[in-house]
Structure 1
Amino acid sequence: MTDTSAQSPTPAADAELVKLFNDMSAGTLSERMGITFVEASPQRIVATMPVEGNNQPYGLLHGGASVVLAETLGSVGAALHAGEGRIAVGLDINATHHRGARSGLVTGTATPLSLGRTLASYEVVVTDEDGNRLCTSRITCLLRDSAPKAQ
């Protein structure tokens, strides 16, 4: 069951999280895929990704690219929900591809299905610039304490 008692961050806090996640993407798969965060809170994570450079040989958005976007958003949401001193580790992800895209930006929006103490599940909807649903994905993450830092 989703805990709806959690408060959304203020617009300033949300902007700080968006900048943090965009900065943290340097040198990662997210940067390589061109993923740019737009919103970030445990209740809603939104990012865009270009189709160009993330397409398959037929010129369509690669299904794996949609899954990378979904896993990125769901993992970020789960980590935000887990809180300081805890981490989110992906356990399961699936995706249904509804239609293709050949150009432009796609937008992924992750919203929680269930936020618990040890598991967090998100639905991620990927849409094109016209708002057409391209992909629906579900990701479940294990929430655990961070490993102690080596001394």
Structure 2
Amino acid sequence: MPCDPDLADTAAFCQAYGVAPEDSANTILVVGKGEPPAYAACVVLATTKLDVNKAVRKRLGVRKASFASAEETKALTGMLIGGVTAFGLPEGLAIWVDSRVLGRERVVLGGGSRSLKLSVDPAMLMALPDVEIVDDLAV
């Protein structure tokens, strides 16, 4: 679905396009601090908060983890924050989907650019390479 790039951020998008936040999901790139850095893409509902300090850090096996910067996200995925999608990510990049995402009938997530969103059956995420469904990835 087309989207005004100025309204691509989740809250603005949901309000402008009448999408319930609980039916919107964000794909967030995270990085584990270390040499080399470890990356993963996390898909969580917009009504939840990615648990970077516990769930992500533990899964990455690092002492410190954070959200990847806009620059890291663009360099690794080719996508801008606000448009990142779980579909078409680089091979070998872990994709972790919070189990609550699968409980929705449909979810709207980034379409690869700030001017596009995808409305999909969340079960489609299960077909992605390197995907894992994670309980309590978000709080």
TM-score band w.r.t. shorter chain? under 0.3
Select the structure with the greater relative contact order (CA < 8 A; seq sep ≥ 6).
2
Q: Scaled by the length of structure 2, what TM-score is found?
A: 0.27
More strand by share: 1
More helix by share: 2
Larger radius of gyration: 1
Q: Scaled by the length of structure 1, what TM-score is found?
A: 0.26
